[in-house]
Amino acid sequence: MRLIKALAATVLGLVVLIGAVFFLMPTERIANIVAQQFQTATGRTLSFGGAVRPSFYPVIGASAQGVRIGNPEWAGADPLLTAEEMDIGLDLAALIRGDLQIERVVLQSPTLHLRRDAEGRVNWDMAGASGAPASDAPTPRERRVALTEAQIRGGSLRFEDALAGTDLRIEGLDATLRMPDFAGEADLSISGQMNGQAVALSLNTDNAARTLAGGVTTVMLDLTAAGTGITFAGRAGLEGMVAEGQVQANIPQPRALMQMLGQSGGDVASAWLPLALSGQVTRTEDGRIFARDSQFRAGGIRLTGAADLDPRGDRPRLTGQFTGDVLDLRSEAGAGSGGGAGVSGWSRDPIDASALALLDADISLRLNGVRTDLTTVGRTDLAIVIDRARAVTTLREVALFGGAVTGEFVMNNRSGLSVGGDLRMRDVDLLPLLTDLADYRRLQGIANAEVQFLGVGNSMDAIMNALRGDGRITFSQGEIIGFDLAGMLRNLDMSYMGEGNRTVYQSITGTFAISDGVLRNDDLRLDASRVSVTGRGAVGLGERNLDYRIVPVALRDAETELLRVPLMITGPWDAPRFRLDLEALAQERLRAEQERLDELAREEARRLEDRARAQAEDRLQRELGVEREEGERLQDTLRRGVEQEIGNRLRGLLGGD
């Protein structure tokens, strides 16, 4: 506002010049008068480095060369504005009426240097030496001010803001301002290059005077900068940069926009681009932004809802509630690849998690589904909290292949990427899950499981090879596809593999521990209609291999003798090898034979023991002169014989009865 008033003061000074021309006043004298009036009105110096020439046709006016407007003392010795030439044309009839109708203002190759220091002082605040602008003085009637057209041609602008730490530069600046009535509508268009990025702006306001004074007015804005397109229709004010209205924004590359603003950062993975927003937006004086009834886009993510963005603090903070249809989060390389694991193993492509450091967040999200490089899930209800590049996602409920997953999943990128979780699955269909996650198509059934895990690394391969944790599984009513376990164990024949072979099971249960990407288990139990087995061994989650041992507990076949022959499963997931443990088979046969011999030895020992006992009994009975009665215990027979012998001896000693 004060800059406009200063220019108006300059125009009035040039009016003096034009009037003086009629009295043949020298141009040097006229230039001095104009400079004095400008300094009186603004407190700033004005000088002309070249001639000041009047013009009379087609409008009355003047042109001045080498125009220079000074800065306040605190802003340094460099000028606020320099221009090779300034050309002004006035409506003489309006001037006679006491109005200021400016037909044209043209600045050729101007250089404008705006500054704001750390204390908040600005060098474009042009109060006069008395502390009040000259235009604030009372006049007999309110002067009407109008501007048909003002132009800047080939200019440059620099804005140094010590308070915000920014330094913005616009080169090749072309601008046009039309203001038919200073208290009415105004149109402004600007184009140029800001910090190497193209900028174009068109602005319309319903009250130019109020807009320049910083007040809130109706505004229509269309901005294109560094490939970013922003439109705004609503009410806004320069004082505090407040705004409220409908916004549409499309940001294909935030990094270019940040560079244009003189800031670093803005690196966002291509999968999250472009960023877009449309809806009702409010910006408060302290910089907070509120979006309501809005639509948001980040790459394949499209959401509706409400959000609040608070830029204060170390990082911006986003809070919001969003809903969406099925989101496609698949990367171009991973889309349709089925699990992110190639023929040779997990992907070694770096995972870009830099977006976690852009802001803090507290978000509630409800979706109809999510597609990722790993798998596809159904109806999803999440809560996401991001704090200093650490994101905790609470899975209130995620529909997954006929079942559901709940728990927490954590991504931490504070000092290198790590992922972890505490997850619970219930009633999940195993075959499509394992097909999507690991391209493993040999296990079918309904899964219930609990798992806690943590993996560190900047690629899927590194994370899976560093994985650690523990958990438990319960699979029910399923099949192991590709081999007939009961047939192998019953016939000791490894040909029960391949297409058409399968093992139908009622349940598989077990617990496991994970360390350095290897899952170990020693209490697996599989119950099937024809076989029951236990298992123990290792599953290489990182190397995608198997080293597992299955031992039969029972073969439910009356004609088949149970042989505890271990079945070894080794090799890669996609081509496992099955073999019977022949050494264990030999040991099993040796153990069985040893058990048979041991039983024969025990039977012979029992037979000899019985014979010795019978002989001893017969001898005692003969020596005692008694016979064992039917049903009488041996102890009772012996006791009776001893008592009888003692009685006979006593009678002999006593000589009778």
pLDDT, tens digit, 9 for 90 and up, residues 140-161: 455 566 778 889 999 998 888 8
Mean pLDDT, range 631-654, rounded to an integer: 65
389 pLDDT higher than 80: yes
Banded model confidence at residue 15, pLDDT cuts 50, 70, 90: low
Instruction: Tell me: do 541 and 476 sit in the same domain.
Output: yes
Q: Choose from 28-32, 330-334, 508-512 the range with maximum mean pLDDT.
A: 508-512
Nearest residue to 643 (alpha-carbon basis) of 619, 616, 630, 625: 625
Contact 567, 547 (CB under 8 A): no
5 pLDDT higher than 60: no
Nearest residue to 204 (alpha-carbon basis) of 191, 224, 185: 185
Which helix (H) or strand (E) segment is 111 a member of?
A: strand 111-116
Contact 283, 241 (CB under 8 A): yes
Instruction: Tell me: do 441 and 486 sit in the same domain.
Output: yes
223 pLDDT higher than 90: yes
DSSP letter string, 231-282: EEEEEEETGGGEEEEEEEEEES-HHHHHHHTT-------GGG-SEEEEEEEE
The region of weakest confidence among 71-75, 115-119, 423-427, 596-600 is 596-600
First to last CA, the chain: 152
Distance CA 601, CA 594 (A): 10
Mean pLDDT, range 186-207, rounded to an integer: 91
The pLDDT assigned to 22 comes to 43
Does a structural domain hold residue 248?
no
Distance CA 86, CA 14 (A): 11
The pLDDT assigned to 344 comes to 63
Query: What phi, psi does 421 have (nearest 5°)?
Result: -170, 165
Instruction: Tell me: do 612 and 629 sit in the same domain.
Output: yes
Q: What is the dihedral of CA 393, 395, 398, 400, to 10 degrees?
A: 80
Mean pLDDT, range 36-48, rounded to an integer: 76
Report which DSSP code applies to 493: -
Distance CA 405, CA 449 (A): 9
The region of weakest confidence among 30-44, 67-81, 253-267, 564-578 is 30-44
The pLDDT assigned to 383 comes to 95
Distance CA 474, CA 509 (A): 5
Residue written as token pair 């090898």: 577
Among residues 120, 153, 182, the one where a domain terminates is 182
The pLDDT assigned to 130 comes to 37
Distance CA 80, CA 36 (A): 17
Instruction: Tell me: do 34 and 46 sit in the same domain.
Output: yes
In Å, how far from its chain's centre is CA 260?
25
- Amino acid, single-letter form, for residue 136: D
Q: What is the dihedral of CA 155, 156, 157, 158, to 10 degrees?
A: -160
The pLDDT assigned to 9 comes to 58
- Amino acid, single-letter form, for residue 293: D
Does a structural domain hold residue 200?
no
Distance CA 448, CA 427 (A): 6
Q: Mean pLDDT score of the chain, rounded to an integer? A: 80
Does a structural domain hold residue 77?
yes
H-assigned helices in 98-244: 208-212
Instruction: Tell me: do 582 and 635 sit in the same domain.
Output: no
Nearest residue to 542 (alpha-carbon basis) of 457, 601, 421: 457
Instruction: Tell me: do 516 and 649 sit in the same domain.
Output: no
Distance CA 265, CA 373 (A): 27
Instruction: Tell me: do 581 and 595 sit in the same domain.
Output: no
Among residues 152, 182, 212, the one where a domain terminates is 182
Does a structural domain hold residue 251?
no
The pLDDT assigned to 446 comes to 93
Contact 625, 619 (CB under 8 A): no
pLDDT in tens, 342-372: 546 788 889 888 888 889 999 999 998 887 7
Mean pLDDT, range 608-630, rounded to an integer: 66
Beta-strand ranges (E) seen in 5-80 are: 46-48, 52-55, 60-69
Instruction: Tell me: do 19 and 125 sit in the same domain.
Output: yes
Nearest residue to 441 (alpha-carbon basis) of 580, 575, 578, 579: 575
Instruction: Tell me: do 650 and 556 sit in the same domain.
Output: no
496 pLDDT higher than 60: yes
The pLDDT assigned to 633 comes to 67
Contact 156, 111 (CB under 8 A): yes
Does a structural domain hold residue 627?
yes
221 pLDDT higher than 60: yes
Instruction: Tell me: do 101 and 128 sit in the same domain.
Output: yes
Instruction: Tell me: do 108 and 173 sit in the same domain.
Output: yes
Contact 219, 201 (CB under 8 A): no
Report which DSSP code applies to 629: P
Instruction: Tell me: do 444 and 535 sit in the same domain.
Output: yes
338 pLDDT higher than 60: no
Distance CA 48, CA 46 (A): 7
Contact 401, 432 (CB under 8 A): yes
Inter-CA distances, 412 with 60, 313, 421, Å: 70, 21, 11
Does a structural domain hold residue 357?
no
Range of the domain at 598: 588-654
The pLDDT assigned to 260 comes to 79
Does a structural domain hold residue 271?
no
Nearest residue to 274 (alpha-carbon basis) of 305, 296, 294: 296
74 pLDDT higher than 50: yes
Report the domain count for the chain: 3
Among residues 182, 210, 235, the one where a domain terminates is 182
Is the pLDDT higher at 95 or at 419?
Answer: 419
Give 537's strand partners: 521, 548
The pLDDT assigned to 600 comes to 79
Give 283's strand partners: 243, 289
Query: What phi, psi does 325 have (nearest 5°)?
Result: -80, -150
Q: Choose from 243-257, 475-489, 600-614 the range with maximum mean pLDDT.
A: 243-257
pTM above 0.85, yes or no: no
Q: What is the dihedral of CA 311, 158, 63, 213, to 10 degrees?
A: 20
191 pLDDT higher than 80: yes
Structure token digits, residue 524: 């697996």
Does a structural domain hold residue 216?
no
Mean pLDDT, range 532-544, rounded to an integer: 92
pLDDT in tens, 304-333: 999 999 998 888 999 999 998 887 766 655
Is the pLDDT higher at 151 or at 54?
Answer: 151
Distance CA 358, CA 315 (A): 7
The pLDDT assigned to 444 comes to 87
